[in-house]
Amino acid sequence: MRIHFIFMLFLLSCGSEKSVEQSSSSYFVRDIGVSKPVFYDISSSEECNSSQKGGLYTRWLNGFTGEVELKKVSSRGQGKYIATSAISGLYAHSKMDFLDERIDSLGEKISLCHDKVYSLNSIEQVAINTITVLDKTYEKLISIKSEYKNIDPVYVFIHPEFKRYHSKEEKEGRTVYNYYLATNNASYSRYDENSYRGGAINIYPASKEFLSNPQKADKKKAFGGLPFWNFPFVIAHEYGHHFLDNYIIENFFKNEIKFSRFKTPSFVEYPFDKIDKVERLYGFLHEQFADYFAHYLVERKYRKFKNVTCLEMNRELESSKFFNYESSLDKILTSNRLRVFKREEATDYIKPCNLVFTDKYKIASIFNYLFFSINRAIGIDDIEAIRVLEVFFKKIAQNEDKIVNSLNDADFDNFFESFLKIYLSIINSSKFINNTEKIKVCTSLKEVIPALYDSVGVHDFDCSVID
């Protein structure tokens, strides 16, 4: 069975500290974290009443003001709202147990009444926030290119319950595997042989710590104390994983790479000392794509994250700096940071808001800041930026053997050089750039990616003109 799973951010809050003995009695599983998640109840399932007053509202954070805004969703008719062109269906409380890598049940199917006002703390409200972003993203995509309408619809799982591998240790002659119970997060997964086939976006429950004041962003808490379904960027990011997997990779990559990158005890494709490095590179590719995709497809006010610690600046493409609770760093790929990213030590878990450069999200953010800076310098708008992204990854597919070999060999230097060369070959076409603009690109390369400037910027892109 082949399973693909991509986390948008590392988990912050997980399960209780108890050990559960498995039936095989060969190992224990320990949930680690601060509290059990809070699972919202499904609202009563009475029939939709067309005489009801009100309507469906989204609750999204305006990243410029830092306030959660309510916005009425356009009427989609009467009766129940179950699926759209973007989604296959809505399900709640799915059991997703990654200990034996299967879904036992899709959970309870959700439907929404068009004219009903749902409470803030309801499964339905989470669903409204999520599917409205997906619909808007899908509609914008097909307005850019009609061929995108062939993207398969994606499942949406609201508050799935499952665990993710964290680490292992030896204890009293037994191997103890530590897992996270997933909370305060969102992810994309794909199953090819199971209870369902296709891609799914998973929106996890919030932990108690996050729900103490869900109406107001709290800068002292990670993610502003807001659940992830309040951020359109997050949902669009996960849909970006689906677009990459379902459209780009499915149609243009000839090998079964699929970005399979589990760090679980069952991950046996590579020698153990290579697993973490290979995962970092595969993860970088997917996270770079998904953040870029989300940035250019959501409204401008959803591209920023005022007072949302861990997202503010860190995941904003236009920000030149990283920021955690009390300090900031420039988004620059130095030779030292590149050495850190490819170092031998395993990175089982990195806390949110970290400024650690073994984190694939940090390296992806640096490259996305570079790409944003170049797009802005040479006048590439939102629509053209998405077209560039598609061409970029199609060219990666055309150079698949070299890229995949670098990935599987954990050859960081060749991988990043090839990756950047392919991007610059697109930008260097006469369609995008003249000599004046080329100087702007070279300046961005020198300032943001000094670790690769000599090998790629000067040697391949001929940036000697600015030196």
pLDDT above 80: residue 100? no
CA atoms of 182 and 466, how far apart (whole Å) = 49
Per-residue confidence (pLDDT) for residue 16, from 0 to 100: 25
pLDDT above 70: residue 206? yes
Most confident of 18-32, 144-158, 451-465: 144-158
Per-residue confidence (pLDDT) for residue 117, from 0 to 100: 75
Question: How confident is residue 414, by pLDDT bands cut at 50, 70 and 90?
Answer: very high
Per-residue confidence (pLDDT) for residue 310, from 0 to 100: 85
Rounded to two decimals, what is the model's pTM?
0.84
DSSP characters over 366-421: HHHHHHHHHHHHHT--HHHHHHHHHHHHHHHHHTHHHHHHHHHTT-HHHHHHHHHH
DSSP characters over 325-367: SS-EEE----HHHHHHHT-SS--S---TT---TT-HHHHHHHH
What's the whole-number mean pLDDT along residues 126-150? 92
Per-residue confidence (pLDDT) for residue 54, from 0 to 100: 61
Of the given ranges (89-98, 357-366, 444-453), which has the lowest mean pLDDT? 89-98
Top-confidence residue, 362 or 54: 362
pLDDT above 90: residue 101? no
Of the given ranges (100-109, 132-141, 397-406), which has the lowest mean pLDDT? 100-109
Top-confidence residue, 452 or 173: 452
Which tokens sit at 286?
């997917």
316-333 pLDDT, tens per residue?
A: 999 999 987 777 899 999
Question: How confident is residue 20, by pLDDT bands cut at 50, 70 and 90?
Answer: very low
pLDDT above 80: residue 257? no
What whole-number percentage of the chain has pLDDT above 70? Answer: 68
b/e map 162-199, b = 16+ CB within 10 Å: bbbbbeeeeeeeeeebbbbbbbbbbbbbbbeeeeeebb
Question: How confident is residue 342, by pLDDT bands cut at 50, 70 and 90?
Answer: confident
Range of the domain at 14: 3-466
Per-residue confidence (pLDDT) for residue 50, from 0 to 100: 53
CA atoms of 236 and 228, how far apart (whole Å) = 11
Per-residue confidence (pLDDT) for residue 315, from 0 to 100: 94
pLDDT above 90: residue 114? no
**DSSP state, residue 297:** H
CA atoms of 124 and 58, how far apart (whole Å) = 11
pLDDT above 50: residue 349? yes
pLDDT above 60: residue 170? yes
25-60 pLDDT, tens per residue?
A: 333 444 444 344 444 444 444 456 555 556 788 889
pLDDT above 50: residue 141? yes
pLDDT above 50: residue 389? yes
What's the whole-number mean pLDDT along residues 131-150? 93
Of the given ranges (19-28, 71-80, 87-96), which has the lowest mean pLDDT? 19-28
293-324 pLDDT, tens per residue?
A: 999 999 999 999 998 888 999 999 999 999 87
Mean pLDDT of the residues in the chain: 76
- Dmax over Cα atoms in the chain, in whole Å? 71
Per-residue confidence (pLDDT) for residue 350, from 0 to 100: 62
pLDDT above 50: residue 85? yes
Percentages helix, strand, coil for the chain (3-state, rounded to 5) are 40, 20, 40
CB 424 within 8 A of CB 460: yes
What's the whole-number mean pLDDT along residues 207-236? 71
Per-residue confidence (pLDDT) for residue 53, from 0 to 100: 57
Top-confidence residue, 420 or 433: 420
What's the whole-number mean pLDDT along residues 405-412? 84
Per-residue confidence (pLDDT) for residue 210, from 0 to 100: 59
Helix (H) / strand (E) element for 451: namely helix 450-452
Question: How confident is residue 273, by pLDDT bands cut at 50, 70 and 90?
Answer: low
What's the whole-number mean pLDDT along residues 420-441? 86
b/e map 58-79, b = 16+ CB within 10 Å: bbbbebeebebeeeebeeeeee
Question: How confident is residue 14, by pLDDT bands cut at 50, 70 and 90?
Answer: very low
Helix (H) / strand (E) element for 134: namely helix 123-144
**DSSP state, residue 249:** I
Of the given ranges (254-263, 334-343, 364-373), which has the lowest mean pLDDT? 254-263
Nearest to 147 by CA among 246, 69, 261: 246
Tell me how many domains the chain contains. 1
DSSP characters over 177-198: EEEEEP-S-EEEEEESSSSS-E
3-state secondary structure of 244: helix
Which residues have a Cβ under 8 Å from the Cβ of 324 and sit 6 or more positions away?
309, 310, 353, 354, 355
Of the given ranges (9-18, 183-192, 338-347), which has the lowest mean pLDDT? 9-18
